[in-house]
Amino acid sequence: MAYEQRDNSGALFKNHHKDRPNQPDYRGTCMIYGKMLEMSAWLKQGSKGEFYSLSFQPPRDRQPSQEGQTEPRKAPVIKLADEGEDTVPF
């Protein structure tokens, strides 16, 4: 059975390719309101103990453009709720 990405869910996996301290400890993907996003997570130490700092980005374009460079990232527009809708999305 193939993995099916469900809306408003995602998965993180240990980053085994971490070469520098500023690279994420965990990476993965998620689908938020029908938009695929890449997730990054860093395990940090705070005054109340350990916590995860998260980052969400549009998927990286792995196809080079005609000039041999990748296209710049564009921030996705995520529609949270329709006008007049009184429900909370979470």
Neighbours of 10 (CB within 10 A): 16
**29-82 pLDDT tens trace:** 999 999 999 999 999 999 999 999 999 999 987 665 555 555 556 666 666 656
Residue with tokens 């240990």: 14
Neighbours of 24 (CB within 10 A): 20
pTM metric for this prediction: 0.62
Q: Give pLDDT, residue 4.
A: 78
For the chain, domain boundaries = 9-16+24-52
Nearest to 12 by CA among 44, 42, 45, 49: 42
Q: Give pLDDT, residue 60.
A: 84
Nearest to 54 by CA among 39, 76, 44: 39
Residue 13 has pLDDT above 90, yes or no: yes
